[in-house]
Amino acid sequence: MLPQMTRFFPKKIKTFVDLFAGGLDVAINIHADTVYCNDINHHVIGIYETFQNMTIGELLKYIDETIDRYHLTMTDEEAYRTFRTHYNQTRDPLDLYILVCYSFNYQFRFNSRHEYNNPFGKNRSSFNPVMRENLIKFHERIKNIRFQTRNFKDYDISSLGEGDFLYADPPYLITCGSYNDGKRGFEGWSQEDDLLLFDLLDRLDAHGVKFALSNVSEHKGTRNKALIKWKAGYHTHRMNFNYNNSNYQSTSRENVTKEILVTNY
């Protein structure tokens, strides 16, 4: 949905803040004088910062040598488990990146002790040639990004002003994603979090800072009433994304997902 969203973004941005940066899909495709990317998941941010401190040659050399040393393949689950144990003992950010490359659905999953516990992606996951090329491009795109690891509730917006732009893509309250269920080593997302985020965006608006919020107003018959009420004071843009590809015979209202972009400009 990136092309749909970015056409609503400001054309000229001084400081851009991605409050829930995640995989940086938006941040690496934005044009701004200064880019800040924040995420409460310090494991992910640690990977990005480590990438920045290495040349692409150093990075690829480490990845290739580690894959060879631990005999990581798409079929050897025992090698994967051995390497996962190694990571949980050392917590090296680059080892975490490699581990994710061989894990089920390439997911970041941690237990309450922040030990990585995602299972093996047998016959599906690996550091393949496409990932190598994407990493090379990604490494170039992130070199000037400034990373932060703050809870959005504690994020300091006082330095933002006219000409700046904040984008928020929080966990969606009424969907059930692996990132918001509270079972991945981080707190889940609640209605209180939604309300606190709405308040932060209201304060940005009061100070003349432009913002955009991605969210879901309706999902499988459930409506986010607080979001629907709050967004009435701003501009809502419907995003066209079909979540029902795996269930193409169903056209009932219960399977509708309304993905929206809310802006204050």
CATH number of domain containing 251: 3.40.50.150
Query: What pLDDT was estimated at residue 248?
Result: 38
Q: What is the pLDDT of residues 131-169, one digit of tens each?
A: 999 999 999 999 999 999 999 999 999 999 999 999 999
Residue 249 pLDDT > 70: no
Given 91, 121, 141, the domain boundary residue is 141
Residue 107 and residue 29 in one domain: no
Residue 109 and residue 190 in one domain: no
β-pairing, 257-263 with 235-239? antiparallel
Eight-class DSSP state of 12: S
Residue 165 and residue 121 in one domain: no
Residue 78 CB contacts under 8 Å (≥ 6 apart), including other chains: none
Token pair belonging to 37:
């990317």
**Mean pLDDT, residues 199-221 taken together:** 96
Cα(187)–Cα(25) distance, integer angstroms: 23
Query: What pLDDT was estimated at residue 256?
Result: 82
Asked whether the whole model's pTM tops 0.85, one would answer: yes
Residue 25 and residue 93 in one domain: no
Given 141, 162, 190, the domain boundary residue is 141
Q: What is the pLDDT of residues 112-138, one digit of tens each?
A: 899 999 999 999 999 999 999 999 999
Cα(127)–Cα(64) distance, integer angstroms: 9
Helix (H) / strand (E) element for 153: namely: none
Residue 53 and residue 34 in one domain: no
Dihedral of CA atoms 186, 187, 188, 191 in degrees, nearest 10, equals -150
Given 81, 115, 141, the domain boundary residue is 141
Residue 179 CB contacts under 8 Å (≥ 6 apart), including other chains: 22, 171
Residue 106 and residue 158 in one domain: no
For the chain, how many structural domains are there in total? Answer: 2
**Cβ atoms 77, 121 nearer than 8 A:** no
Percent of the chain with pLDDT over 90: 86
**Amino acid symbol at 203:** R
Token pair belonging to 221:
């018959």
Residue 23 and residue 122 in one domain: no
Locate the DSSP E strands across the chain.
Answer: 15-18, 34-38, 146-148, 165-168, 210-219, 222-223, 235-239, 257-263
Residue 188 and residue 257 in one domain: yes
Query: What pLDDT was estimated at residue 188?
Result: 82
* Residue 137, domain extent: 45-141
Residue 123 and residue 156 in one domain: no
